[in-house]
Structure 1
Amino acid sequence: MNRISLIAAAAVIAGTSAATAQETVFTGTDVVEERNEALREDIAEDFERDTQIGNEGRQLGFSGSLALRASASNGNTESTDIGIGANYSWFDGTNGFGLQLSYRYGEDEGVTVEESLLYDLEYTRDFNPRFFAFAKLQGSVDEFSSYETDTFVGVGLGYRVISTPDVQWSVQAGPGYRVAELDDVIDRDFEESALSVSSNYSARITEGVVFSNDTDVIASDSDTVVFNDLGINYAIGTDGLALRTSVQTEYHTDPVPGREDTDNTFGLSLVYSFD
């Protein structure tokens, strides 16, 4: 399918690198094609919901994907950017396994400026169409973050509150254990019991409008963190035009010194498709 994607965002201009500034009219169409492809991929990610609770919607057997993006430049500037993403799942009708990995590496003028790994491994077992149990291991490794490592392992129960063609709502919760290693400046490592609570909700408001809200909470004595992703997808008319607005929020009850307790990311993506 041929797809042309358009996005209206000042961040695209603000994020232009120094290497891009050296491009001229003689650079050619390859750069335009690469940039449009990058925009298409970014917008496609905006329209997809990566979170999932339980085995709802999983296909039988094995499924997965692996993505790799890399870029390098030299001359007036020297930089390297690498991104790897993997998503694997298996489901036999009762038991489900899911693994998600995301690795990013960035280098500027020979100096590493980014290196992070996010991972999520989860097992889910259905008891009946409503109730299920889960066990999960999730965490991050990032030497350029206040939390150099942050790991949570837990178990619990889940319940599908609503499961209709137009509305899906599932919740899960359970105890676990959290281990975090903060950077040397902060020096506030901790290991403690924790509680995880998750909610995934989506509703088709009209034929062309879908509302979704996904929330994850990990609570412990040292810090409670809340991740929330709220979005609305609009199908504008019947001409292949779609719009997504979203707000992603990360909230910490006890942020590290010098950091705000709340981060919000606002997104607006506009896609026009035709064959």
Structure 2
Amino acid sequence: MNKLLLAAAISLATPFAAHAAADFVEGDRTWAGEAELGATLTTGNTDTSSVKGRIGLKHELGNWENQYIAEALYKEDENTVTAERYFGGIQGDYQINDVSYIFINTNYEKDPFTGFDFTSKSSAGYGHRFIDDGKALLKAEVGPGYIYQRLDDESAITEGVESRDSVVAHAVINFSYKISDTSTFKQEFITDWGDKLDGRSESSITANIVGALSMKFAVIVRYNSDPVEGKESTDTETNMTLLYSF
């Protein structure tokens, strides 16, 4: 019950943070974002199709910086779905000073190929920017969190339980470096450590094509130290997409 209350408190506090900022903080309200899309389609002797899409929005409002992310991945080979993942997340950062902030976030992921109907994560804690000079950025976040995972029917029978949940230690490291005026390297690590270890790493390079349009190459690795029986611990994803910033 305590863990459920913790998850509910974190999840409910996140959207209210934006409204609180709107009510009590005066100043310019600015939006920025980026949209990412990649697709493959083949017909004839081989019928395959795949789509990767992502949109990220950032809203600066006084001392608050709110981030919203939505992602989707879908792949079909010979009329058989071979990959499907949907993700949505929101995070609010309250700036304490130029280098420190308090964060609170929640997200939801659906990936039927992991053996789970869905996975929900929430966390809150402290963030710090170690480097932020316009060329390089290095920041880290750490705090408590909560994970709830609902197993699909087949996995629930195999595992003998309908769900998994755990209080975790949540940590994030973000690094980015401008290689040149037109290209940037980014590295992100996310870990949630409780009854098991969940981790995600994304390495990417973006190169500007023209104006606000760029090409992005990314390698994503997901790790689960205790997967559902019959599933792999590690998933990898390699993408080449177009990225539009606005």
- TM-score relative to the length of structure 2: 0.64
Cα deviation code 1:62-112 (max 9, x no counterpart): 345778999xxxxxx999988875533321241122222235678899998
Structure 1 residue 256 corresponds to structure 2 residue 228: yes
CA distance in 2, matches of 1:170, 1:114: 32
1:204-247 deviations in whole A, cap 9, x for unaligned? 356676432111111220x2111111234579xxxxxx987643
> Partners in 2 of 1:207 and 1:92 — Cα distance?
28
Measure, in 1, the Cα distance between the counterparts of 2:55 and 2:207.
28
Identity level (%): 21
Return the offset for 1:142.
3.6
Moved more, 100-109 or 120-129: 100-109
SS in structure 1 of the partner of residue 202 of structure 2: strand
Instruction: Identify if the C-alpha distance between structure 1 residues 248 and 83 changes in structure 2 by more than 3 Å, giving closer, same or farther.
Output: closer
Quote the Cα distance in structure 2 between the aligned partners of 1:232 and 1:82.
Answer: 19
| Contact 2:38 2:240 survives alignment (8 Å) | no
Deviates more, 1:81-90 or 1:200-209: 81-90
Aligned to 1:224: 197
Which residue does 2:130 correspond to in 1?
161
Q: 1:199 to 1:180 in 2, by over 3 A?
A: same
- Runs (5+) with no aligned partner, structure 1: 1-58, 71-76, 236-241, 271-275
The alpha-carbon deviation at position 193 of structure 1 amounts to 0.7
Alpha-carbon distance, 1:268 to partner = 6.8
Counterpart check, 1:201 vs 2:175: yes
Structure 2 CA distance for partners of 1:152 and 1:93, relative to 1, 3 Å: same
Q: Secondary structure at the match of 2:230?
A: coil
Query: Secondary structure of the equivalent of 1:152?
Result: strand
The corresponding residue for 1:214 is 188
Over the aligned positions, Cα root-mean-square deviation in angstroms equals: 4.1
Q: 1:80 to 1:232 in 2, by over 3 A?
A: closer
C-alpha distance in structure 1 between counterparts of 2:182 and 2:76, whole Å: 42
Q: Deviations over 1:151-199 (max 9, x none)?
A: 0111101000111122110110110111101222224621221121111
For the residue of structure 2 that corresponds to 1:185, the secondary structure is: helix
Matched, 1:62 2:31: yes
Choose the corresponding residue for 2:119, options 139, 150, 168. 150
The size of the alignment, in residue pairs, is 204
Aligned partner (choices 91, 100, 121) of residue 131 of structure 1 = 100
Q: Match of 2:174, as an amino acid?
A: N
Give the unaligned 5+ runs of structure 2: 1-27, 40-45, 156-160, 209-213
CA distance in 2, matches of 1:255, 1:220: 14
Is the 2:75–2:81 Cα contact (8 Å) retained in structure 1?
yes
Give the greater-gyration-radius structure (CA). 1
CA distance in 1, matches of 2:96, 2:104: 14
Correspondence 1:189 to 2:153: no
Please list the CA deviations of residues 10-38 of structure 1 after superposition, one character each: whole Å capped at 9, or x if unmatched.
xxxxxxxxxxxxxxxxxxxxxxxxxxxxx
